[in-house]
Structure 1
């Protein structure tokens, strides 16, 4: 049986935030950003809400019909100056604002890791070719292992293949890295080693004919 997928809208915002919060509470990178369990439970939803708002405004969120999984995508053009980063980062620079510092202030002002994770991932983001960027994919923990994440990613990769568009992501744990490898992604360069934290693997997929 196929997985029903639709594009999420503003009315789905709170559902997406709750889903991402459940999916990433115990993710190694989330535990690094918010190392205390009580503090993470209280503050982690704010970061998921910030991510959701960015992608609702500038990208696309695919949501399974049953609300059990979602994928956040951004379309990243080639940067002729090779400065890296996404459209969102560029817009912040043009406005004279520091988007990473603003996110930290909105989410958890005393937590420098909220800002640092954005700066570090932006620093390794490829900029020489336009691509689809899979920012996050979240599956309800009670529904993991049933192919929902694979269906969501393939949904966009099929379009990438038709349009000749590469795709990029950062895998935050070994399990997701293995999934992406099965879908045709390859590790692109050395892992990003978070200070006193887990590795993140930049991964790239060229379109298939």
Structure 2
């Protein structure tokens, strides 16, 4: 049986924030940003809400019809401003003021927590800028439904469009275990890790579009 998928809207904001908060409570990067477990339990959702608001405004969020999983995507421009069709793509990848964005994120989420700003800067600095692509920012699956293929279905939903349109895709895996999932979907390790100071590492991964010839 296939997984029903739809585009999320503003009415789905609380659902998406809850899914991300639950899914990433024990994630290594979330644990670094909010080291104290009880503080993370009461504050982590603010960061997930900020991410959700950014993507609702600038990108696309897909959710399963039963509301148990979501995926956040941004369409990124190349550094020269070219989008997927040579025009204006999404807001990402146009240079922007990443430093100011990181400051605003910290101020809105947890003003005294420098790590909120630091993780935003690190991810922005490591992001590939030479080609337009689809960026899988986050994917969250309700803990009770993990391991059922919901995440794979959500990602493949957009990868099929990437293949049709000739677009590559990019992500940062937050655990070595999750890289195996993405490898099965055609992503390859970018030969460099994003090493967080005194913290965990992330694995940037890239996927070239699959053409008709590649599929044969």
Q: TM-score, normalised by structure 2?
A: 0.90
Aligned to 1:189: 191
2:70 is paired with a residue whose SS is strand
- Indicate conservation of the 8 Å contact 1:89/1:99, yes or no: no
* 1:15 counterpart = 2:26: no
Aligned to 2:120: 118
Post-superposition shift, 1:194?
0.5
For 1:98 and 1:123, the matched residues in 2 are separated by 13
* 1:2 counterpart = 2:2: yes
Aligned to 1:38: 38
For 2:93 and 2:121, the matched residues in 1 are separated by 10
Q: 1:89 to 1:40 in 2, by over 3 A?
A: farther
- Indicate conservation of the 8 Å contact 2:79/2:94, yes or no: no
2:31 is paired with a residue whose SS is helix
For 1:5 and 1:18, the matched residues in 2 are separated by 18
Aligned to 1:156: 158
Consecutive aligned runs of 4 or more in structure 1 exceeding 3 Å deviation: 88-92
Q: 1:89 to 1:166 in 2, by over 3 A?
A: closer
Match of 1:132 among 119, 131, 134: 134
* 5+ residue gaps, structure 2: 82-89, 212-216
Aligned to 2:91: 87
* 5+ residue gaps, structure 1: none
